[in-house]
Structures are given as C-alpha cells and as structure tokens.
Structure 1
Amino acid sequence: MSRRKKQPGNPGVVVAYLRVSTDEQAASGAGIEAQRAAIEAEVARRGWVLHGTFTDAGMSGKSITGRPALAEALGTVESGEAGTLIVAKLDRLSRSLLDFAALMKRAQDGEWNLVALDLGIDLSTPAGEFLASVMASAAQWERRIISQRTKDALAAKRAAGVRLGRPSSLPSATRDRIVARRADGQTLRQIASDLNADGVDTSQGGRAWHASTVRAVLLIEDPSRQVRSNA
C-alpha cells in the first residue's frame, strides 16, 4: 500500500531559526536577541502564529549538517506542524549558496515556505520565487566553477609530475615489469594474463589482474600516458 503524502502545514504557522557562531557570541551577546526581535516583529506584522523558536548557539554556518536545532526546525515544517521556516538573515541559515539552493528545492518539493528577512526571500510570493530561481542558477554556476577549478588544478599537478591518489603498494619489480611489457608492445589483456599465470599479487593483495588494473598501474607511473582500455 502506498504511503500517503503528508499534508503541507499552514503557511501562517511559522517556526523561527536563530544561530550564532562561537566568535559571534564572544563579540556580541545581543546576536540571538536581535534576530529574535526582527522575526517577532515580522510575525506580528503579518499576523502569523509563531509555533516555536529553534536556536543553534556556537554553531558555524558553513554547512547545514551537524546543527540539531536546524534539523528540528526542518522536521517541524516537513511534518506539517508548521508551514513556514523564517530566519532574520540568510547567513543564519547557511553561508553556502549550494546548501541554501538545496534547502530552497527541499522547501518547494515539500510545499513549505522559506523566508529570509534580510534579502526579502519568501517562496510564497512571485518575487520570492524569482529570487529563489536566480539563486539556484547562481548555485549551479558555482558548482560548475568549483568542478572546473578542481579539474584545472589536477591537470596542473599532473603536468608538474605530481602523482595523484593513494601511493601504490605494488612492488617496484611488478611495476617495472608492466611498464617493460607495455613498451614491448603487449596489450593490456596480455600483460594481465601473464601476471595471473605467474601468480603475481595485485596492489590489493589479490590475484586477479584485468586490463583495467594494468591500465591503472601504467597511468600511475605516467599520468600523461594515453592508454586505451581495450588495447
């Protein structure tokens, strides 16, 4: 029997999320209270009902994971007990654009509202939806930029002769044998077959060499080497 989908909560019933890091607590004891005051003023202005307030004190905003109060706040809106999660400032929720975009998608899929007062984000309004789509696009751009930078950095390391990945545990004699056999024109399958016939252990201690295993050794020895998997 299929599980019934939870009914979305009343958007006028809200939960507030507050956060300060350890450094912010040390710098100002009014951080939490300032957030609380801004949220309560907005709740009163809109005629909403504040269902509960969840506070993570001394927590970083670099990631949305590892914050018990945030997890509880999200559970409240996702269960339908409340329909809106509100924060005074976007960075109280997350300092990561990628994490925030994921939360917006989660809110849209779960049919609950997300409000950040400082940026005017409110998924229940056309302007809020537009801003959410812009930020999601920016997050996708950031994700692609990070990926490209990682690829460029790895390529630069390879070009400089830096070996990547875990150090090989394969004996140097076995590596030299593979390189020499390849230089003599043997295919990857032929080299693997010879190694298996001689009972040579792989780097993981097994005795099942494959063309792909041989290819991996050759790439470790020379990252710039062009090795076709079926050659």
Structure 2
Amino acid sequence: MSQHTTPIDVVAYCRVSSQGQGESGLGLEAQREYINRAATQNNWNIVGEFVDVVSGKLAIEDRPEGAKALALCKQAKAKLIVAKLDRLSRSVHHIARLLDEAMDFKVATMPQADKFQLHLFAALAEQERSFIASRTKEALAALKARSIAGDQQAQQKVARRTEALEKGRTDANRAKANEAIQERVNSFSESVRDPIDLCILKGARTLQQVADCLNGKGITTCRGGKWSPTQVSRVMQNLALTLPSKGDAL
C-alpha cells in the first residue's frame, strides 16, 4: 500500500562501472527494477532518468549525467533516487558531503532510511570492502600454507601462480601482479552483483536457482562458461551476499 496520498516527484539515477555493462544493460536492468518497484510502493512519480557509465569513485556532481540529474532535482524540486547506495557513491566522504549539503535523496532498497542510517550504511559498506580485501589476502596465505603442508591440489595452484608471476619480475612487480589479479576478480564480481540481486529479487532462493537465472539471462562466468551453484556461492561470498531464508517475503 502507498505510504503517501500525494505523489512525490523523484529523478531516477543509475550508474554502471563499465561500457560493457552499460551496453548490455545487465546492471541497468536490476537498478531499474529496484527503482520502479520502490516508486510504485511509495507513490513516487519518476520525472526523469539519467544513466552514467563511470567509476563510483567519481563524485556524482562530476559525472556527466549525474550533474544533469542534480540539476533536474533542483529545477523540479524533486528527490534523487538510486537503486542502491553504492550507485550514488562508494565513498563515505561523498555520501556525508551530500547529506551535509542537505541533498535529499532516496535509496530504493531502503526507502525509509533517514540521513543517519544512510551514513551508517555507507560506512559499513566501505568497511565490508576492506574486509573482502583482507579475506582475499588470508585466502592466498591459506593456500600457500596448504601447499607447504603437502596438499597436492594447493601445490599445483601455487606452482601455476608462481610460474606466471616469477618470470623476470621483482618482488614489487609480483605484489602488483597479485593485486591486479584480485582487482580483476573483484571487478568481475561487482559486474554481476546487480544481476544476482535481480535473480534473488525475482524469487531465486537456492544457489542452483540463481545459477539457472544467470544462465537464462546469457550471463557467463569470468571464464565465459555456464554458472554452477559452486561458482555462484564463491561470487556471492566475495560480495558478502546471502540468500533470503525460506520465510522471507518476495
């Protein structure tokens, strides 16, 4: 049921990080689904939509379409609406500055959140990204430990990684190579965050159902193959995503 008798004008803003996502619409589909659903449930009237294909590190006012969205908000006296907080910015500093400047915005996945809660969620999200980086380093250390202990599978993985990284490279370059590998893993995981969220939003309640949903959309794994429950689990763990319990409402 609508929570407002009078519609509130909102300007929809979506952001994807790469041209590939922008062209395929994989990220945009989920964001629009969130925004349209929230608008219907809260009696929000969408008066415009803007889409940027830029990094979340760039402040919204410095993005081509973001600047236009803010201008329309001011002109139409409307509120900005984003699907998720990280579409607005991944920086706690940027979020805090917008809140301090009395920028009125809504987040579709938490439409009733107040300024304090939005600031808190932004801080927690930034901390979680830091935890993910730490867990990755710990996982690499654990792989090396298993290799030393005699685990043949771990030894093979370490050998392949060592062979690829140690050909004429300095310690500094090897460290950069490891960082580049992890950055690619994280980048791919982020590229499928919205499609996974959308699959769950539309009713997927098991890893197999999420895998079937992604395969049905033609979304491939990082190696271009079909998704399996194990692969879905790894990516969801990297993104700190969880499946709803059976009792949760759709």
Q: TM-score, normalised by structure 1?
A: 0.45
Between Structure 1 and Structure 2, the one with more helix by share is 2
Structure of greater Rg: 1
Q: TM-score, normalised by structure 2?
A: 0.41
